Amino acid sequence: MTDIAIRVEKLSKLYKIGVSEEGLSASSRYRTLSETVSTALKRRKRGDKAHIWALKDISFEVQRGQVLGIIGRNGAGKSTLLKILSRVTEPTTGSAEIHGRVGSLLEVGTGFHPELTGRENIYLNGAILGMKRTEIARKFDEIVDFSEVAKFIDTPVKRYSSGMYLRLAFAVAAHLEPEILVVDEVLAVGDAEFQRKCLGKMSDVAQAGRTVLFVSHNMSAVLRLTEESIVLDKGKIVYRAATPEAIDYYMSAGFSDSGERLWKAEEVPAEAAPFQPVALRLRDGQGRIVDTLRSTDGASIEVEYRLQQPITGLRVGLYLLTLRGEYVLTSFDTDATEQYERYSTRPAGHYVSRCNIPPDLLNEGRYVLAVNASSFRVKRYFWDDHALAFNVDATGAPGKQWPEPRMGPVRPALDWSIETL
């Protein structure tokens, strides 16, 4: 038996944008000669804009029993790769050899028939994996207990909430013992307790010697579950290494190191309208744009943007993260009640939202700033999770008389007193 569980060679996937709708008449799926010619001319004029390579000539191998992380920004090609490996979609060119039964959790409810009950979907998925009915029956109670949907197991899954759907889907994928488990963003939905259960079960699966491909934006989970990871960017593998090194590469790549991030028009998705980001800047106490801060000095962060028309409930926020993707803090420009009431509807115009970082807050190290513009539970207008990176120098910080690293991302100067009793 080969020691290779997955072998991918020169794999590519091309998507044609808008082909299904472009050139079709309103009342028919058939095109006239003039429509066909017009469509061809439009595509020729656009060039490659009607096509996008979700994956481009990627090659790699996964050893049997290996747990491999796959990380990358949104649109990097991670989900497309897993869909090809799970036989959900076909590659345009190249090949993918799979040695073993594959169990997949790609999206909430993928592989479930909405009209069937939870019980029927468990048996259906087991049959797809080639399991006998008696084998599935032995795992049935364990699946139901893990998913916590016993009361609804004979209800059609189309009536399940997204959380119930996910719990059952994960339980099926993890407990039916496929030789290869493919998991895409299992932590994106569900409460904290269920996420802990998922991580615990995936750890058990990995220790049992099964092959696992794990995609997640949760770098702590990737670090915990995998020993090696690949980094995808624009459909290509740009880095493969031990997971800590791969995460450091991913979290450092693509950032502005100048202390300023300027967004070009082509970088802003059309869905962001009427919000138009202009710049993100980090300034020191003297107002200079910098990429390194002294931990003992204050600083400010500013987001410059334009509104093409008024937005109700807009909040512009910052997320501060470590290079490992661990959140340090979140803050929005309307957190204060006064600001919230004053800008309940923000008129069209040109704005700068600015916040101050107090001295003696951050520990030495490298940090990441992400930007979010949204109306709470209405719409996310803009999100950039790789906006800016900067360094913090702890020279002169309290406690530096001891040459030892301080744990954690914050290093506050706490007010201590010593009393003799």
Structural domains in the chain, sorted by start: 4-17+50-252 (3.40.50.300), 260-393 (2.70.50.60)
Asked whether the beta carbons of 300 and 357 are under 8 A apart, the reply is yes
SS3 104: strand
Q: What percentage of residues in the chain have a pLDDT greater than 90?
A: 43
Q: 89-115 burial, b if ≥16 CB within 10 A, otherwise e?
A: eebeebebebbebbbbbbbbbebbeee
Sheet holding 102-105, edge to edge: 102-105, 180-184, 211-215, 67-71, 228-233, 236-242
Measured CA to CA, the distance from residue 133 to residue 61 in angstroms comes to: 33
Q: How far is CA 275 from CA 8, 303, 305, 419, in A?
A: 41, 12, 7, 55
Q: Which residue has the tokens 């990380």?
A: 71
The mean pLDDT value for 50-70 works out to: 90
138 token code pair: 């032995």
Q: Comparing C-alpha atoms, which of 373, 353, 382 is closest to residue 267?
A: 382
Q: What is the pLDDT of residues 240-266, one digit of tens each?
A: 999 988 888 887 765 555 799 999 988
Among the listed residues 401, 390, 392, the one whose alpha carbon sits nearest the alpha carbon of residue 359: 392
Q: Which residues in 64-136 belong to E strands, given as ranges?
A: 67-71, 93-98, 102-105
Give the mean pLDDT of 93-108.
81
The number of residues in the chain equals 421
d(CA 49, CA 58): 22
Mean pLDDT of 128-152: 87
Give kind and range of the element (H or E) at residue 327.
strand 327-332
Is pLDDT above 90 for 381?
yes
Report the C-alpha gap between 256 and 276 in whole angstroms. Answer: 19
Tell me what pLDDT residue 281 has. 96
pLDDT tens track for 203-225: 787 788 889 899 887 787 888 88
Q: What does the pLDDT read at residue 247?
A: 85
Main-chain phi, psi angles of 235, to 5 degrees = 80, 5
Rounded CA gap, 391 and 255, in Å?
12
Q: Identify the burial level of 29 via C-beta atoms within 10 angstroms of its C-beta, where 0-12 means exposed, 13-18 middle and 19 or more buried.
A: exposed
143: its two tokens: 């699946």
User: HSE-up of 148 (CA within 13 Å, CB side)?
Assistant: 11
Average pLDDT, the chain: 84
Determine the distance from the C-alpha atom of residue 48 to the mean position of all C-alpha atoms in its chain, rounded to a whole number.
Answer: 27
pLDDT in tens, 392-401: 998 888 888 8
The pTM (predicted TM-score) of the whole model is 0.64
